[in-house]
Structure 1
């Protein structure tokens, strides 16, 4: 009887633990982690493979940057119509296009033989990829409590982070043996299949639990309470942070090859260090934002990123350089769940995906614009000056936007206190 009672208590303890885990991490969030992984299998390839692509097509730094922009500019632009379409027609079909459609476009990139065809394939991949991000956070936020929204969105980031961490390692090995096209072709097939599987599984969940077609995550904001100045300043802060980080990151492999003498495969593998931060920093960032607020997390990371960019250009120690690359990865990923949670909670109820589309548009389109500028600066004055200008610009934007967000927040609180 004593042994049986112990089994009963143990089973009850497991049941309680399982219920707590389900509250923090519902099964649908796990499903979206897999979807996020599939979405980014191909989008993670252009930057680590850039040295290989540059060598084949004999590109200067400016034309090499266009390889990044060919994907990132359409990717950013497509966020706007995708958010609008998700609000009106539901996200499931857009998510399919954002995973399997990207895989098919990546296959076209892998079989391209000319520079112009390469750019066209990357542009198509970016245009089709816009359906994922404006749709996924809204669905996730609809099945978790507002107090755990940052943590859930942080877990979701693990899927994309795993892709960005693994893809450079796999790509470097395949590219060294079979050329830079092999990773695109080899990863496009499983990504396409995973997109179909996710589409079917999500459809089954929608039928069983009515989740996803018209989500309405709880929020304190409505059409009459939205502080548009604060929301716009925050989107500008987080978006510029993401854009500047990715624009600088695009030149890290070339910097390592041309300044530190790394081989192309070794330089590509270093990018995995940057993306490894996403395996844990997003979860930590989401958890911290649930405790202290979204704005402090993003503001502190933005204010620290500028000096880090300047140090990359001035630094001659490889160990310190690796540490700075890792910190930039932490800044990118810890920022993401805090930013998504803020945008979802501050946006009008019926337009959350649309506002998320604007948010992602700014971050991704900004990367497409900034990358060629950084490339031009490298061509004209070298890596050190380019990274210094990027860092100083980041510091200026971070300071101005943070002040605007803080001031508008104080005014809003004072206004509510007088009511």
Structure 2
């Protein structure tokens, strides 16, 4: 939970610094944006090597290394005096942050029996980081220089590292397989062999499914704030008082993220009670419907829009424990880090292409086309989940030693 919260704490604070950096005489909005992109690129693309390293050295070592690397990177950022130094610090952060998701999810999948419940709390912590990172950063920037703020943001990571060094646990306590905590050979033939074994099984369906979930997820979170700002239902709202000049659209979006914490919890609990494949089919279908009705519902006024955004936030994050547990069900424990590395390459790497897709659609076509494409992403994901429900015999599913017979 500390790790997941910290990754998104740092991740979501970076765009807030953009406001300051673009005002630097030697920088421009384009240059500052490119520098931030340099940090986010390894965050997604480094997930696969992070998963390989997790299988080799054990998830705890990778998680603590991530804590240290992210905190040190922000301390370097605090000392930065040019855009070049800022770029170096952000690239280092992206590399350090990229190993967390495969290592953290691998640890949960092999270390605890109530995976759904723990994934729920884990997801809630991530949402807390998503909300608190930009809020704390923006608040501190009111009174302090950005360099000092960057140093302050590193403090929770240092505290988490010190705490992590003191705890002991069995990272394979919930695995039915005889797997060492670390020690999988870190060689190219082993990587190719394990990858072939994974991609020749139903895990390939899970991998593609998560890619379409990532396209939907990144498209919503990237463009919804801007879309909300332009909606007539929100333009007419005046907060007044000390909040004069603050757009209520920002509060609507933060509220969506907060509701997402409830979605994470409920979704995680449900994975312990219903087959994850059926849950994925249902949630993908709901997400497809919600984005299709977004424009007509927003035209009905503020209250219907708030309800719709709440439902969208709930199900957008409720789906995450389902696919995280699905990975555990369709992969052997000794390649769990590699499995989650592929999954987060799909989520944060391939899924990030929806930023380019969404930008093109919003610039060239009416808003309804953007939401229609998001709906298609969800429907494809739901169709792949349906394959997992009805196509077991033809998908060459790996022997699943961790699923209960009743499932």
Report the alpha carbon displacement of residue 81 of structure 1 after superposing the two structures with TM. 0.7
Preserved CA contact (<8 Å) 2:60 2:107: no
**Structure 1's 324 and 367: CA in aligned 2 closer, same or farther, altered over 3 A?**
farther
For 1:415 and 1:128, how far apart are their aligned partners in 2?
35
Preserved CA contact (<8 Å) 1:54 1:64: yes
Q: Which moved more, 1:83-92 or 1:305-314?
A: 305-314
Report the alpha carbon displacement of residue 355 of structure 1 after superposing the two structures with TM. 0.8
In structure 2, which of residues 57, 73, 80 is the aligned counterpart of residue 89 of structure 1? 57
In structure 2, which of residues 110, 114, 127 is the aligned counterpart of residue 161 of structure 1? 127
Equivalent positions of 1:36-185 (< 5 A) are 36-47=4-15, 59=29, 66=34, 69-110=37-78, 112=80, 117-145=85-113, 148-178=114-144, 183-185=149-151
Report the alpha carbon displacement of residue 367 of structure 1 after superposing the two structures with TM. 4.0
Q: SS at the partner of 1:83?
A: helix
For 2:357 and 2:83, how far apart are their aligned partners in 1?
20
Match of 2:376 in 1: 396
Q: SS at the partner of 1:102?
A: helix
Match of 1:233 in 2: 205
TM-score (norm 1): 0.73
Q: Which moved more, 1:367-376 or 1:274-283?
A: 367-376
Q: Which moved more, 1:336-345 or 1:177-186?
A: 177-186
In structure 2, which of residues 270, 281, 288 is the aligned counterpart of residue 288 of structure 1? 270
**Structure 1's 263 and 107: CA in aligned 2 closer, same or farther, altered over 3 A?**
farther
For 1:353 and 1:403, how far apart are their aligned partners in 2?
26
Q: Deviations over 1:146-172 (max 9, x none)?
A: xx3211211222222222222232233
Equivalent positions of 1:182-221 (< 5 A) are 183-198=149-164, 200-202=165-167, 205-206=168-169, 211-212=170-171, 217-218=175-176
Aligned residue pairs: how many?
365
Alignment partner of 1:353 is 2:325: no
Gap regions ≥5 residues in structure 1: 1-32
Preserved CA contact (<8 Å) 1:48 1:253: no
For 2:86 and 2:245, how far apart are their aligned partners in 1?
23
Preserved CA contact (<8 Å) 1:241 1:394: no
Match of 2:258 in 1: 276
Q: Which moved more, 1:253-262 or 1:67-76?
A: 253-262
Match of 1:344 in 2: 328
**Structure 1's 358 and 88: CA in aligned 2 closer, same or farther, altered over 3 A?**
same
Preserved CA contact (<8 Å) 2:110 2:333: no
Report the alpha carbon displacement of residue 263 of structure 1 after superposing the two structures with TM. 5.0
Match of 2:238 in 1: none
Preserved CA contact (<8 Å) 2:213 2:381: no
Preserved CA contact (<8 Å) 1:173 1:265: no
RMSD between superposed Cα atoms in Å: 3.6
Preserved CA contact (<8 Å) 1:282 1:334: yes
Match of 2:401 in 1: none
Alignment partner of 1:35 is 2:7: no
Alignment partner of 1:251 is 2:219: no
Preserved CA contact (<8 Å) 1:84 1:353: yes
Match of 1:331 in 2: 315
For 2:124 and 2:134, how far apart are their aligned partners in 1?
16
Preserved CA contact (<8 Å) 1:307 1:392: no
Report the alpha carbon displacement of residue 42 of structure 1 after superposing the two structures with TM. 0.9
Preserved CA contact (<8 Å) 1:70 1:368: no
**Structure 1's 263 and 347: CA in aligned 2 closer, same or farther, altered over 3 A?**
farther
Report the alpha carbon displacement of residue 194 of structure 1 after superposing the two structures with TM. 1.6
Match of 1:28 in 2: none
**Structure 1's 404 and 38: CA in aligned 2 closer, same or farther, altered over 3 A?**
closer
The structure carrying a bigger helix percent of its residues is 1
**Structure 1's 171 and 269: CA in aligned 2 closer, same or farther, altered over 3 A?**
farther
For 2:32 and 2:371, how far apart are their aligned partners in 1?
21
For 2:295 and 2:16, how far apart are their aligned partners in 1?
19
Gap regions ≥5 residues in structure 2: 178-193, 236-243, 397-407
For 2:395 and 2:345, how far apart are their aligned partners in 1?
31
Report the alpha carbon displacement of residue 117 of structure 1 after superposing the two structures with TM. 4.8
Preserved CA contact (<8 Å) 2:131 2:258: yes
**Structure 1's 138 and 229: CA in aligned 2 closer, same or farther, altered over 3 A?**
closer
Report the alpha carbon displacement of residue 43 of structure 1 after superposing the two structures with TM. 1.7
**Structure 1's 408 and 131: CA in aligned 2 closer, same or farther, altered over 3 A?**
closer
**Structure 1's 246 and 114: CA in aligned 2 closer, same or farther, altered over 3 A?**
farther
Preserved CA contact (<8 Å) 2:215 2:347: yes
